[in-house]
């Protein structure tokens, strides 16, 4: 997986003690305890943001691994919170319906949703520790309002003719200690009927579009505090393949400088 430029954080089982370090201007949080580790990274484009909101794109990446090389549990849910400087507004953008994406072998139906496309990326799946599959990711607007959104992310597994699994992301306002930000809830389906797990991914999304003769941005962000904050509230990995590792929960924070 190509690595994102920007600040990164490393996470593992949430019950572990934290050890913090910093290098090359990037803050990191490491919890080097077995059995599963995850490294998440992100970037906001453009990096230099004003105090007033500006249209942006967000790039996200992640890598999962087991400490002893045993098969990975499968990521099935993630909850990521963003601070109050961010905004989502899909109103006016074409909407793609989930059933159309779920039956889009070879992208045939998804082609009709290209006006709804808001992002793309790549992923690697682990079928066994020695067998990996490459996949292409595409993100589509599933509708919403000026403060909420639904995003559908398809996974086209290279070399397979199966209907692409669709991850559903719900975006909602969420109050935290610093104001009202955004909570994103990611629901990841079983991959290959439970026979595969997500190993890594790299996804970039965000889009400018015209609606009623005016310019709009799917995502906007400002920089009122000098950094964009995000918190991985939880990432739930299920031991669906019976590896003996058991279910795991990951958590961590990231702070991205924005000026």
Domain borders along the chain are 8-257
Tell me if 6 sits within 8 A of 40, measured CB to CB. Answer: no
On average, the pLDDT of the chain sits at 83
Distances (CA, A) of 104 to 18, 99, 128, 144, 202: 43, 9, 26, 23, 22
Per-residue pLDDT tens for 71-97? 999 999 999 999 888 899 999 999 999
Residue 42 has pLDDT above 50, yes or no: yes
The CA–CA distances, whole Å, from 219 to 2, 60, 91, 149 equal 23, 14, 11, 10
Q: pLDDT category, 190, cuts 50, 70, 90?
A: very high
Whether pLDDT at 133 is above 80:
yes
Mean pLDDT of 49-54: 84
Instruction: Say if residues 172 and 182 touch (Cβ distance below 8 Å).
Output: yes
Euclidean distance between CA atoms 131 and 148, whole angstroms: 39
Q: Are strands 54-55 and 74-82 parallel, antiparallel or unpaired?
A: unpaired
Report whether 56 contacts 191 (CB < 8 A): no
- Split at pLDDT 50, 70, 90, the class of 176 is confident
Q: What local confidence, expressed as pLDDT, does residue 104 receive?
A: 59
pLDDT of 113 strictly over 50: yes
Average pLDDT, integer, range 109-119: 85
- The mean pLDDT value for 133-156 works out to 95
pLDDT of residue 57: 92
Among the ranges 26-40, 104-118, 213-227, which has the highest mean pLDDT value? 213-227
Question: pTM of this prediction?
Answer: 0.85
Neighbours of 102 (CB within 10 A): 16
**DSSP structure class, residue 6:** S
pLDDT at 9: 44
């Amino acid at each position: 997986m190509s690595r994102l430029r920007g600040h990164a954080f490393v996470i593992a089982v949430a019950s572990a003690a934290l050890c913090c370090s910093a290098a090359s201007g990037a803050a990191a949080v490491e919890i080097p305890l077995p059995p599963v580790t995850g490294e998440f990274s992100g970037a906001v484009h453009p990096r230099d943001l004003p105090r007033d909101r500006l249209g942006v794109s967000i790039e996200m990446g992640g890598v999962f691994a087991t400490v002893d090389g045993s098969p990975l549990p499968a990521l099935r849910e993630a909850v990521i919170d963003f601070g109050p400087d961010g905004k989502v507004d899909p109103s006016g953008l074409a909407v793609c319906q989930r059933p159309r994406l779920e039956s889009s072998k070879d992208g045939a139906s998804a082609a009709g949703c290209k006006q709804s496309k808001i992002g793309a990326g790549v992923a690697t799946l682990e079928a066994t520790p020695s067998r990996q599959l490459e996949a292409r990711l595409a993100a589509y607007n599933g509708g919403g309002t000026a403060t909420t959104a639904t995003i559908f992310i398809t996974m086209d597994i290279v070399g397979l003719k199966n209907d692409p699994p669709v991850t559903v992301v719900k975006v909602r306002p969420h109050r935290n200690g610093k104001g009202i930000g955004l909570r994103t809830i990611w629901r990841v389906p079983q991959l290959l009927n439970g026979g595969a797990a997500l190993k890594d991914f790299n996804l970039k999304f965000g889009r400018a579009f015209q609606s009623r003769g005016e310019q709009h941005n799917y995502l906007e962000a400002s920089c009122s505090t000098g950094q964009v904050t995000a918190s991985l509230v939880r990432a739930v990995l299920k031991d669906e393949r019976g590896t003996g590792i058991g279910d795991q929960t990951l958590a961590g924070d990231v702070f991205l400088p924005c000026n």
